[in-house]
Amino acid sequence: MSDLPSSVEALRILRNIGCSNEVIVHCKLVSRIAKSIAESCKAKGIDLDLDLVVVGALLHDLGRSKTNSVQHGVFGAQLAREMKLPEEVALMIERHVGAGIPSEEAVSLGLPNREYLPQSLEEKIVAYADKLAAGSRRMAIDSEISRLSEELGPSHLAIQRLKDLDKEIRSLLEGC
């Protein structure tokens, strides 16, 4: 992808747009986790765009320069489009929140009425890697599932979406 910024450029974008140092540290961790997952997939012969994963993960929280609410994905995608970043990056930013948000749930959260579910493998890897990073700390997926269960309630549909995403990524990594 020729118009994809480099990692250095992505970090410069985060700084210039006003993301805090904490957000930038988090984005770096998510990028390292996502890169590791993507490299493991590639080693198993799975075709994906490693550079897109790395840069998309660095930029996934671009919208946190404006808000820390659930709307940060929408704001970040809007900023990415205004900066003329590749649409694949904008979609990755827009679809990383939670394990994705379906349109009905999006409307109830005050988001524009559309699907925010990760579609491409690259989008899924970034959304998953984000769930493995709490600030600057790597965490187990079970810890994030427990945290979300306490926050949203154990029967919230987001919990099942995260479990399904975990199962899909683990299946790829195990070669099943």
> What number does CATH give the domain 7-174?
1.10.3210.10
* C-beta separation of 145 from 170 below 8 A: no
Instruction: Give per-residue pLDDT as tens, 113-131.
Output: 999 999 999 999 999 999 9
Instruction: Give per-residue pLDDT as tens, 5-57.
Output: 999 999 999 999 999 999 999 999 999 999 999 999 999 999 999 999 999 99
Instruction: Give per-residue pLDDT as tens, 86-118.
Output: 999 999 999 999 899 999 999 999 999 999 999
Contacts 24+ apart (CB under 8 A), 134-141: 135/22, 135/25, 135/26, 136/22, 136/25, 136/26, 136/29, 137/29, 138/29, 138/33, 141/166
Instruction: Give per-residue pLDDT as tens, 119-166.
Output: 999 999 999 999 999 989 999 999 999 999 999 898 999 999 999 999
Element holding 80 (H helix, E strand) = helix 72-82
pLDDT at 66 > cutoff 90: yes
pLDDT at 176 > cutoff 60: no
The stretch 61-69 carries a mean pLDDT of 96
Q: How far apart are the first and last CA of the chain?
A: 29
Average pLDDT, the chain: 94
In sequence order, the 6+-apart residues with CB closer than 8 A to the CB of 158 are 98, 99, 101, 105, 148, 152
CA dihedral 7, 165, 37, 54 (to 10 degrees): -10
- The Cα–Cα gap between 7 and 45 comes to 24
Provide the pLDDT for residue 2: 55
- The Cα–Cα gap between 25 and 100 comes to 23
pLDDT at 1 > cutoff 60: no
**In the beta sheet, which residues pair with residue 100?**
98
